Structure 1
């Protein structure tokens, strides 16, 4: 169950904070965030080597981030199905839901966050809906935005992220110094990976495959720039690093 946590405070020095946890089969190959796509030269994102797309893309020039989660509903037909990994790339460039033939995509949730607000698109295989997220802390999982009492992960982490102090200024320095409690929470907050509340998970399946959290991303958006930190798994110890992005002029 992938997770996106986003905090929207329009009047804050750092108006948008986003944490993204990617859960996938461990054997699926991927690469850490960088500029990989000639068709999207402004973007920085991790790269899925199986399908060639991404799960989360950052556009430093326009102060924008787009993140994708798998959803539930009617899947696309095998003969026409396209990878959903191109959607965050197109959305981070355009700032909106890409103009695509949705019938060729399996269900998804697409989050697009910028200084003009945060929007969530939901495609269930039959219809698309759009929602502008209000001020506050939102948690999106593969079933949408469940209430705290409906989902153990949301019930544990939503109030903790909501109460955590947000970065006051877009400063440099180590991830721990910039993010404070957000870093600890995004790293899993010490909850065991097999706990129903866990944000960072690891499950060994009966067929021998392992399904786990492969990475965690933290992104901060402000008028003065973008902060982008990344935690790949497995790491021992778990080591965050700041993603190198080019000079942040306006796009």
Structure 2
């Protein structure tokens, strides 16, 4: 997953909204979100067995992974990062994690008490709390400035989107922004992308997740058609 948007408003009826866009090689096999693990929902990577986003509906937790930048893990003993969202959603954090076997990552964990963000760059692991507001996490990390064109375009768009007063909606403005806001895939600001590489492989946005967390529970909508705001389907509540 290459972009996560987190909107935190503790005083709102829906205090946490999250958008996750997964970018990957299009030939990498995966299954749509479902109860693939005990107590946890998420899409399943069929190559390594993990996920890019995990939801623990009973505990009201959402964990999302973004690949990071830094020093890659040694090939010997290398561990798939797809297990990290499952661990965080199940256990409520990454306590005791030895990150040495993982390539760099950013891991977002949201629950009803707030949002934490872990970073591993291959040399150090640290975490921080996200304050109230609208935030974007990309491969370079939690972007606060305007130097990232994607963030400069989309963060204001999400910040002004109408916030639903229940998990039932309305979600129209969120869906439209989450599916790329009509930008072309080759636009330097694009969040929904597609790149044809010199070796013939194609790397692009494969899916979008839209989630809300409140005292009511967790709402989890998903689409494998990342440019169509009308294509979302409900995953949770079942």
**Contact 1:90/1:98 (8 A) holds in 2:** no
For 1:220-235, list aligned pairs within 5 A: 220-233=212-225
**Does residue 95 of structure 2 align to residue 103 of structure 1?**
no
CA distance in structure 2 between the partners assigned to 1:55 and 1:105 by the alignment: 14
Determine the structure 2 residue equivalent to 1:3: 3
Determine the structure 1 residue equivalent to 2:91: 94
Determine the structure 2 residue equivalent to 1:79: 76
**Contact 2:85/2:107 (8 A) holds in 1:** yes
Give secondary structure in 2 for the equivalent of 1:66: strand
Which ranges of structure 2 fall in alignment gaps of 5 or more residues?
Answer: none
Normalised TM-score (structure 1): 0.91
**Does residue 171 of structure 2 align to residue 179 of structure 1?**
yes
**Contact 1:217/1:228 (8 A) holds in 2:** yes
- Residue 151 of structure 1 and its aligned partner are, at CA, apart by 0.6
**Contact 1:161/1:182 (8 A) holds in 2:** yes
**Contact 1:44/1:245 (8 A) holds in 2:** no
Once superposed, what is the RMSD of the aligned Cα atoms? 1.6
Normalised TM-score (structure 2): 0.96
**Contact 1:42/1:61 (8 A) holds in 2:** yes
1:13-67, Cα deviation, whole Å (9 max, x unpaired): 1110000000000000001000112xxx111000000110000001111111000
| Aligned equivalent of 1:141, options 134, 138, 143 | 138
Which ranges of structure 1 fall in alignment gaps of 5 or more residues?
Answer: 172-176, 247-251
CA distance in structure 1 between the partners assigned to 2:2 and 2:119 by the alignment: 15
1:183-228, Cα deviation, whole Å (9 max, x unpaired): 1000110000111100110111111111000000001000111110
1:133-162, Cα deviation, whole Å (9 max, x unpaired): 000000000001224421110000001101
CA distance in structure 1 between the partners assigned to 2:123 and 2:226 by the alignment: 37
Q: Structure 1's 222 and 192: CA in aligned 2 closer, same or farther, altered over 3 A?
A: same
Give secondary structure in 1 for the equivalent of 2:150: helix
1:165-185, Cα deviation, whole Å (9 max, x unpaired): 1111122xxxxx531211100
- Residue 237 of structure 1 and its aligned partner are, at CA, apart by 8.7
